[in-house]
Amino acid sequence: MNGSRTTLTTAIAVAALSATAALTGCSPAPIQSETKTQTAQKLDLVGLNAVVLGERLASGELTATEVTAAYLERISQIDAATVNAMLEVNPDAGQIARDLDARFQAEGIQGPLHGIPVVLKANIDTGDSMATSAGSIAMADNVAATDAFFVTRLREAGAVVLGKTNMSEWANFRSMTSSSGWSSLGGQVRNAYVLDRNPCGSSSGSAAAVAASLAALAVGTETDGSIVCPSGLNGIVGIKPTVGAISRHGIIPVAHSQDTAGPMAKTVLGAAMLLQAMVGQHPATPGVPDRSTGFLPDPDLTSLTGKRLGVLRSYPGAGKHPRVEAVFTASIEALRQLGADIVDPIEFAADESIARAEMQVFLSEFKTDLNDYLASHQRPADRDTLAELIEFNQRNRDVVMPIFGQELFHAAEATVGLGDPAYLEALAGSGERVREALIAAFAENKLDALVAPTNAPAWKIDWVAGDRFSVGSSGVAAISGYPSITVPAGEVSGLPVGISFIGLGWSEAALIQTAYAFEQATQARTEPSYIPTLEK
């Protein structure tokens, strides 16, 4: 939805119409034709990566007002017809930009993100008129009193919060048969490269918005894969930081053991700029170090001589997609040509017991963490606990659950708290176990980072069977709480494939430098063409 938030009644009616249209197979409207000159002029501005855009804003060549207006115009012209990435546009964006311009004239640049438009996933609090909905009709009127802590930091850095992005409802934690990118409030996000393909992960709208040049930068959140997978499938850079590097204050949670926000951009440097502005802890979260500097890569260091990179061969789907393997092989060779010492293979001891333990952690923490979030926000009387959300969804099932149910909500509600021996055993059998294995692998092989494919090509959107993940490596960093960064590495049939660099805790700066060197050498990213389908 564009503009300010809608009422719950209106949201339900709009969602019902959207769901009905989508379920009957209606195609997105075609983009209205315009001259090549008009298109080029618009892309001259909105097509700039965040770094170049920032330089032109800082020099005064561009104003925040004209940049914001250009992005708002692009959203209004192409979003609904292509990726459906935006859930809500910030009605204050224009005034924020004008205020920045006035301060620029009086005082100069207001921060490292001065005038740069940033969009936020819809599970992130903003202390304005926009809703923090997690994509759910049940949360359509959840307007936070204050910003999430890192959003305050973004405003202080000079960013223009342009709007909230569509997402997988409840961060893909309502059903095991969900379609990534679908929400009852916003409908289906589409892949920017081929529109009938899935955008992946719950931060799908944030990734598609950056890919489609609807914003220069975006923020997503991840519990397992929801930053790196949509970034990989939409051909952009995404950073999943060490858990705890960015405050979780003001984010609708899934599981505190693995939840984190993270930056998305077209380039490594753009993502690093955003990360540097985001990191830091809320004063109410003691004991976590503030590591808010040193993420920007040195542009002169594009050699990887002296780096030891381990090739992860035991990721889910390894060997099952020859064309992905070909992209990965070429990427490893590029790293070798940059001077890296390649250690191949690195076998990582992962089995189904880790996945089962991770799910138990999610279920237990989701109930506790969500109830805590709801208790700290003004909610309607019938939606202030997980149990009441389950009842609300059931009462409104025709518009909330037209394509998948809420079995994960039921399973989470059945858990008995964080003192439960089953939860404590699962915590040890997931996060602790994976961290120990990673530390041992890095020490034994003297590694600086692991490398693995981020994703397979995007699968077709499927509202019957749900998602079809075939290749992925997010679990290693997600379960351990350690950082990873994905960078475009190539394409399969015009669909992007990314490569992930995974490190030990608090190694973001080194990972970013390695990813930057790879990006500069390969230049693998291409702009999307918004092809309706690959099938004739």
Work out the mean pLDDT of the chain and round it to a whole number. 91
Distance (Å, rounded) from C-alpha 331 to C-alpha 316?
Answer: 19
Average the pLDDT over 480-508 and give the result: 98
Number of domains comprising the chain: 1
Does 97 map to a domain? yes
Nearest to 156 by CA among 291, 5, 279: 279
For 341-363, write each residue's pLDDT tens digit.
Answer: 999 999 886 789 999 999 999 99
For 514-527, write each residue's pLDDT tens digit.
Answer: 999 999 999 999 99
Question: pLDDT grade, residue 380 (50/70/90)?
Answer: confident
What pTM does this model have?
0.93
Q: Residue 24's pLDDT is what?
A: 31
pLDDT exceeds cutoff 80 at 286 = no
Average the pLDDT over 148-153 and give the result: 97
Question: pLDDT grade, residue 189 (50/70/90)?
Answer: very high
Q: Residue 348's pLDDT is what?
A: 81
Does 25 map to a domain? no
Average the pLDDT over 261-277 and give the result: 98
Distance (Å, rounded) from C-alpha 140 to C-alpha 363?
Answer: 24
Does 345 map to a domain? yes
pLDDT exceeds cutoff 80 at 139 = yes
pLDDT exceeds cutoff 60 at 96 = yes
pLDDT exceeds cutoff 90 at 389 = yes
Q: Residue 281's pLDDT is what?
A: 82
Distance (Å, rounded) from C-alpha 233 to C-alpha 220?
Answer: 14
Does 342 map to a domain? yes
Average the pLDDT over 155-161 and give the result: 98
Q: Residue 104 maps to which CATH number?
A: 3.90.1300.10
pLDDT exceeds cutoff 80 at 31 = no
- Sign of the torsion angle spanned by Cα atoms 264, 265, 267, 273: negative
Q: Residue 379's pLDDT is what?
A: 77
Does 8 map to a domain? no
Does 4 map to a domain? no
Residues designated as active site: 121, 202, 226
Strand, coil or helix: 459: coil
Distance (Å, rounded) from C-alpha 387 to C-alpha 375?
Answer: 13
Average the pLDDT over 92-117 and give the result: 98
Highest mean pLDDT among 15-19, 39-43, 281-285, 395-399: 395-399
Q: Residue 43's pLDDT is what?
A: 54
In which domain, by residue range, is 123 found?
37-522
Distance (Å, rounded) from C-alpha 162 to C-alpha 206?
Answer: 12
Distance (Å, rounded) from C-alpha 495 to C-alpha 478?
Answer: 24
pLDDT exceeds cutoff 50 at 1 = no
Q: Residue 40's pLDDT is what?
A: 45
Q: Residue 378's pLDDT is what?
A: 85
Residue 498, strand partner residues: 488
Q: Residue 276's pLDDT is what?
A: 96
Percent of the chain with pLDDT over 70: 90
Tell me the CA distances in angstroms from 472 to 320, 458, 505, one per residue in order: 11, 12, 20
List of residues 6+ apart from 484 with CB closer than 8 A: 228, 239, 240, 474, 476, 477, 500, 501, 502, 503, 511
Q: Residue 222's pLDDT is what?
A: 98
Does 55 map to a domain? yes
For 445-475, write each residue's pLDDT tens digit.
Answer: 999 999 999 999 999 999 999 999 999 999 9
Does 490 map to a domain? yes
Q: At what angle do helices 268-278 and 508-522 cross, to 10 degrees?
A: 160
